Structure formats: structure tokens, C-alpha cells
Amino acid sequence: MSDTHAESIAFVRESSLPPAAPPDKVGGPLKWVKDNLFPTWANALLTVVALYFLYLLLAGSLPWLLNGVWGASSLSECREVLDGATGACFSVLTERWHQLLFGFKYPSDQYWRPTLALVLLFLAVAPVLFIDLPRKMLLFTGIYPFLAFWLIWGGPIWGPLFALVGVVVGYMVYARLVHNSFAKALAAGLLAAIAVWYVGGFIGDALRPASPLLEAVPSRDLGGFMLNMMLGITCVSLSLPIGIALALGRQSHLPIVKGICVVFIEFVRGVPLITLLFVANVMLAYFFPPGSGVDLFIRVVIMITMFSSAYIAEVIRGGLAALPKGQYEAADSLGLDYAQAMRLIILPQALKISIPGIVNIAVGLFKDTTLVSVISLFDIIGMIRGPILASTDWNGVYWELFLFASVLFFIVCYGISQYSQWLERRLATDHR
Amino acid sequence: MAETAQMQVSDEVAIRINNMNKWYGAFHVLRDINLTVHRGERIVICGPSGSGKSTLIRCINALEEHQKGSIEVDGTLLSSDLKNIDKIRSEVGMCFQHFNLFPHLTILENCTLAPIWVRKTPKKEAEETAMHFLEKVKIPDQANKYPGQLSGGQQQRVAIARSLCMRPRIMLFDEPTSALDPEMIKEVLDTMIELAEEGMTMLCVTHEMGFARQVANRVIFMDEGQIVEQNEPEAFFNNPQSPRTQLFLSQILGH
Ligand SMILES: Nc1ncnc2c1ncn2[C@@H]1O[C@H](COP(=O)(O)OP(=O)(O)OP(=O)(O)O)[C@@H](O)[C@H]1O
Ligand SMILES: [Mg+2]
């Protein structure tokens, strides 16, 4: 019927068309190949060239990988097994496995301690990373740093215990006062915490046991990939809150606060990390009271944290600037005070915008932890370049060792990147 | 309609503005503003673009600072004292041209946030209040969606509900319908008319002259930072006195 009317201009649809299924995807794999790999002459040429390079890459590396030797006890033994054929000498990994992971001074009967700390880490970060998990789990997250410290460094339990008690007391004081004034509550909480730490120091000294439950391990004895993980996790989790504070400080109307933040950020960004690390190694000792002997690990953590928090502050400042002014005004007009407006309205949105930038910095920071090898800390790179390559057994096994280190770093960094993409999708509420 | 409007105005003063002046740098935006608003009054402010209408109502809840003169809201003098500012802001609701809903929170959370954190209302009670007002603006079924999923008109109604959840005694509107398509303007205006009929004290910057005729007790015309003319709507529209008002009205009513 519609055919007969097709030529007339005026048209009224009398019955609606039934919905139809979308057309099937036509063509098989052959058509896919033609459409995607060889659609034009130029593209076909590119495909062929790319395939050739792929072939070269695999032809070079596959025999080396597949022909790898796993059981030998030294490089010369490896060469004997291979007998002239190409092949990797992966035996170095199995033979020096513990050194690569834990360094060469950590007591070998205590390896279970950092391993347990790593396992518990997953439990502790889970509620932070996955906002849908029950909030009660955050309790363990709060305890974890103290527990992990005790597990890894050992020694009397009083130190970490009183540190934890101080934080809890400080938080309770803060929570009690916070509805009066945020700043006063923060100051009172800090004072309370410091008081507890001070008193706890004396009690801890008095109660020092003859032989602690966990054997004490000095920071100098930490090493291997464990050290990279410890530095990375500590510094990322410290530099995020500090970076937020710096970003907010930089926006502040108070000239002194603003000035301090600007100078700090600009100074730290203008200096190479490696300089800061040398400073940590040598100079920082002068700033602390003599005899306090601030641990090298802590000094390095301070420097890396300073460095990355300055970068994170700038990323977050970008996020803050991207928010429309109306968000601040709406929060103000509802009567929210500064702290509430920031915490409930501004930061959640600004941080969401900043996720890609923050992740970028977190990944970079994690890889930069290998720089500590230049101040003679034996992280995984320090271990490889130092004790392992210098030993007569394994002198010359560069590829296998650095490949292994790369794989470890890749796994962690790729994991972070995948997580951040998931998080962005999870937080997408704008439906644009 | 004019009669119902008259009925609810009381003698109590809600807002008193005395010789208020404001500058943006060297630019004199508001000049000698004198305005007294009684409780229950509905005032429509109109005037050409850039005449300082937004600036005026934003001074009332201290989104902008004034430099000279005084503003008193519900007997509280607006000064740089943060306590007074917070008190006034929690009593004065405001709706913006671009809604300014919080995109990362659901509609319900948008509405309960300020009562919970500013008024310390228990969450349950805040949610009940929020649902009450969402029903009033006729979108209770959208409570668990995010602002980005709503139409403009719906978003503006949520913004009104969000303000109402704080139980304000005064509502300020800054061109609430000018970012909306024509068919959505009506639903927002209907909500505002309903609010007016309940006796809410309202200051509304708008060019919706039908709305002004229907609910306003007073129409104020501003130009170049000054109040040029104010009158009851009938007299204002039918018999404007100043030539600038006449020109303005002929322009917006002319086509
Ligand atoms: N933050 C600011 N800094 C400097 N000048 C400003 C600022 N905000 C507004 N102005 C100026 O003040 C004058 C009044 O602005 P206002 O926004 O109050 O006008 P309005 O009457 O609301 O206009 P419209 O109808 O276009 O919204 C304008 O000339 C504007 O350019
Ligand atoms: Mg305006």
C-alpha cells in the first residue's frame, strides 16, 4: 500500500513498522583479514612490514626463552648444559631467588615475616581500593601499618603498639571535638597523640624484653624487591594525602599557607629525585637531633614522598581547577563549611578527574624506587648490580636478571593501571 | 490572584538592605541599594543583562562580599564574621541558573547532604524529608538516579528540593528557567508558584513576566547597578514610570 502512495508528498503513517533485528555480521575470518589487514595497498604494505618485524623479534627471542636452563648452579655450568646453543640461563633466578626478593642480609629463617606482611597487605588495601566492600574492613587497614612494621622490622612490640595507641587516642580526641571546630580538633588530636607517643616511649623502654618475640632486623638489612615494594607502598600512601593538602594549600586565601605550599612544590619539582636521595643519604642526618639516628629507610621515604607529593599536588590542582565554580557556590549556599565542602563536594570530584594523573605518578614513583640503588641500598636493582653480578658464579648474566626485574615491575604497574581504569568506570556517574 | 498574594505578607522584616554598594575592582556594580523585604513577600527582579541582578541576590547570602552599607537577614547582620554568614546561608536557600547539582551524588544524596552535615539531622529523618520534598516537586521516582541522568527541568526541580530540605525561610532564585527549553520552563515555574502560594519569602531574578504577574507582590527593575523602579506587578507592567523601564518592557514584551 505504501508503494502506491510513495510518490505523493504528503504522508501519514498509518501503522508503525515492526522493529527488526540488526543485520548479521557478514563475512567470515577471511573478510575480517581483508578489511582489517589488507584494505588498501598502503595498508597491506604496512601489515607485511609489521609482520616481518614481529617475526624478527620472535625469531631472536623465542629460542633464547624456550631453551632456557633452569637447574644449573653457575654460569659456566649453564654454558656446559647449553653446549653452544642459544639459551637463557634462568638458573640464576632460582639459585638467587631469595636474594632477589628479600636482599642478602635479611635472616633467611625469617622470610615468612615479610611474606605474611605482603599477604596481609592485600587484605588491608582491599577496602580502600574497592569501595563496595564493607567499611568495617577499614579497621584492619588502620592497624596494618603498625602490624607490618612489627612483622618486617621485628623487635619489641611496644614501639608499634604505642604508635597505634597514640593514633587511636588522637583520633578519639579529634572525633570528639570535630563538630565544634575542625582546626582545634586537629590540633588537640595531634597533641594527644604526641603525648601518648612520648609516655609510650618511656614505658616501652622500661618494658624492653631480653629477647623479643620477633628478632629485630635493622633497615640496612632490608633489600630485594621487598624493599621496592615497601618504599613504593609507603610513599604512595603518604604522598596522596600530603599532595591533597598541598593542592588545597596552594589554593588557600591565607598568604602564608599559600606561599609555603607554592615554594615547596616549585622547589621540589625543580630538583632531580636522585639529588634528594643523596641528600637523604648524607645531609638529612644533620637536620635531625644528633644521636636520634633517624633511620636511612625513613630518610629515603621522606625524600621520595616529598618528591611525589609535589607532583600529585599539581595533578590535583588541575582537577580542582576543572571543577565549575558553581560547585563551590552550591556548597557554600547550602551552609557547608570549608572542610565539609572540600571533603564532600570538591575533593571527590577533583580526585576523580585526577585519577589518570595520580596513577601516572604512582607508577613512576614505584619504578623510581630503584634509584635507591645509587645510595647503596640493595633493592632488586642494587642486588643484581651488586652481590649477584659481582659473584664469580653469575658474572655476566645481565639479560635474565634484568628481564626478571622488568617482569616484576611490569606486573605491579600494569596491575595499578588496570585498577585505575576499573575505578574510573566504577565512579562514572555523569552519564554524558 | 493578586489578592492571595497580598494576604500572606506580614509586617516582619525578612531582609533589610541599606545603602549597599559593591565594586568589582574599580567597577561600581551596585550603587546605593535600599530594599526591605517582608516575610511572605515575593519579589521579582528584572533588568537588562549586566545590570547587577545576580550580584544583588548573591550578596544576600554572602556569595559576594559588599563593601559599603548593610544587609540584614532575619535580624542577623551580614558581616565578615563567619558564624553570621553560616547562619544566614543555612536559612536562605538558593537556586542557580545552571542548577549546580552535585554530579557525583544521587538525587537523594544531593538532598540529604546539607541537612545531615550542617543541621546534624539523623540520616533516616533527612531521607524522609528529602522524599517529602522530592514528591512535592514531583520526581520521587528519580531519587536514586544521578543528576546527569535527568532532564534540565527535572534537575532544576531537584535543586529547588535540595534547598527546601534545609527548611529555609527565604529562597533566592537566579534565572532558574533561563537555561531550560520552553517545555521544561513550565514545570519549574509551577513548582515555584506552588512554593509562593505556601507563603515562602522569595526573591527571584527572572524574565518570565507571566510568572511575575501571577505571583509577585513587587517587581523591581534594575539598570546599571541601581534600582530604577519598583511597583506592584499590575502597575509596573501597565504603567511603567521611568523611560528606561518602558524601553526594557517594550523590548522583552514587544515580540
Ligand atoms: N567576578 C566578577 N568580576 C568582575 N566583574 C564582574 C564579575 N561578575 C560580574 N561582573 C560584572 O558585574 C556586572 C553585573 O553582573 P551580574 O552578573 O550581576 O549581571 P546580571 O544583571 O545578573 O546580568 P545577566 O542578566 O546577564 O545575568 C556585569 O557588568 C558583569 O560584567
Ligand atoms: Mg545574572
A118 CB neighbour count, 10 Å cutoff: 17
Model confidence at A342: pLDDT above 80: yes
Interface test with B, best of A334, A338, A352, A426 (most B CBs within 10 A): A334
The pLDDT score that the predictor gives to residue A87 is 86
3-class state of residue B237 by DSSP: helix
The pLDDT score that the predictor gives to residue A430 is 66
- Only one residue has cell 529547588, namely B160
Quick one: CA torsion of B163, B166, B169, B175, rounded to 10 degrees?
Answer: -10
Model confidence at A395: pLDDT above 90: no
3-class state of residue A29 by DSSP: helix
The pLDDT score that the predictor gives to residue B1 is 43
Model confidence at B70: pLDDT above 90: yes
| pLDDT tens-digit readout, A72-94 | 888 888 888 888 888 888 988 98
Query: Contact B37/B43 with Cβ under 8 angstroms?
Result: yes
The pLDDT-based confidence of A429 (bands split at 50, 70, 90) is: confident
Atom 14 of ligand 1: nearest residue by CA position:
B52
Whole-number Å distance between alpha carbons of B2 and B7: 9
Name all domains of chain A by residue range, CATH numbers in brackets.
112-426 (1.10.3720.10)
Whole-number Å distance between alpha carbons of A417 and A426: 14
Decide if B8 is inside a domain.
no
Whole-number Å distance between alpha carbons of A256 and A263: 11
Chain A residues whose CB is inside 8 A of the B203 CB are: none
Total domains in the fold of chain B: 1
- Nearest in space to B99 (alpha carbons), one of A427, A330, A283, A269: A330
3-class state of residue A121 by DSSP: helix
The pLDDT score that the predictor gives to residue A307 is 94
Decide if B183 is inside a domain.
yes
3-class state of residue B227 by DSSP: strand
Q: How far is B185 from chain A (nearest CA, A)?
A: 21
Query: Contact A243/A304 with Cβ under 8 angstroms?
Result: no
The pLDDT-based confidence of A169 (bands split at 50, 70, 90) is: very high
pTM listed for this prediction: 0.85
| pLDDT tens-digit readout, B26-60 | 999 999 999 999 999 999 999 999 999 999 999 99
Model confidence at B4: pLDDT above 50: no
The pLDDT score that the predictor gives to residue A322 is 93
Decide if B226 is inside a domain.
yes
Decide if B113 is inside a domain.
no
The DSSP bridge pattern shows strands B92-95 and B170-174 to be parallel
Atom 10 of ligand 1: nearest residue by CA position:
B24
Q: What is the DSSP letter of A9?
A: S
Q: Name the residue range of residue B178's domain.
A: 13-97+171-253
| pLDDT tens-digit readout, A280-303 | 887 766 666 555 566 888 889 999
Strand-pairing partners, residue B71, are B17
The pLDDT-based confidence of B2 (bands split at 50, 70, 90) is: very low
The pLDDT score that the predictor gives to residue B159 is 95
Q: What length is written for chain B? A: 255
Dihedrals phi, psi of B155, to nearest 5 degrees: -60, -40
A236 CB neighbour count, 10 Å cutoff: 22
For the segment A257-261, the average pLDDT, to the nearest whole number, is 95
Query: Contact B117/B109 with Cβ under 8 angstroms?
Result: no
Decide if B38 is inside a domain.
yes
- Tell me, in angstroms, the distance from the centre of ligand 1 to residue B215's CA: 26
**Would the CB atoms of A340 and B118 count as touching at under 8 Å?**
yes
Decide if B62 is inside a domain.
yes
**Would the CB atoms of B63 and A327 count as touching at under 8 Å?**
no
Neighbours of ion ligand 2 (CB under 5 A): B 54
Q: List the grid coordinates of A274.
A: 636522585
The pLDDT-based confidence of B206 (bands split at 50, 70, 90) is: very high
CA angle B28, B203, A338 (to 5 degrees): 75
Task: Report the mean per-residue pLDDT for chain A.
Answer: 88
The pLDDT score that the predictor gives to residue A84 is 81
Whole-number Å distance between alpha carbons of B105 and B34: 39
Between these two residues, A411 and A287, which has the higher pLDDT value? A411
- Give the helix ranges, DSSP H, for B8-149: 53-60, 82-91, 107-117, 123-136
Whole-number Å distance between alpha carbons of B43 and B252: 19
**Residue B36 sits in a domain of what CATH number?**
3.40.50.300
The pLDDT score that the predictor gives to residue B108 is 96
Strand-pairing partners, residue A303, are none
| pLDDT tens-digit readout, B151-177 | 999 999 999 999 999 999 999 999 999
- Only one residue has cell 522530592, namely B134
- Nearest in space to A400 (alpha carbons), one of A91, A72, A59: A91
| pLDDT tens-digit readout, A202-254 | 888 787 777 778 888 888 889 999 999 999 999 999 999 999 999 999 999 89
Which of B54, B57, B96, B248 maximizes ligand 1 atoms within 8 Å of its Cβ, making it the mutation to test the pocket?
Answer: B54
Dihedrals phi, psi of B171, to nearest 5 degrees: -120, 135
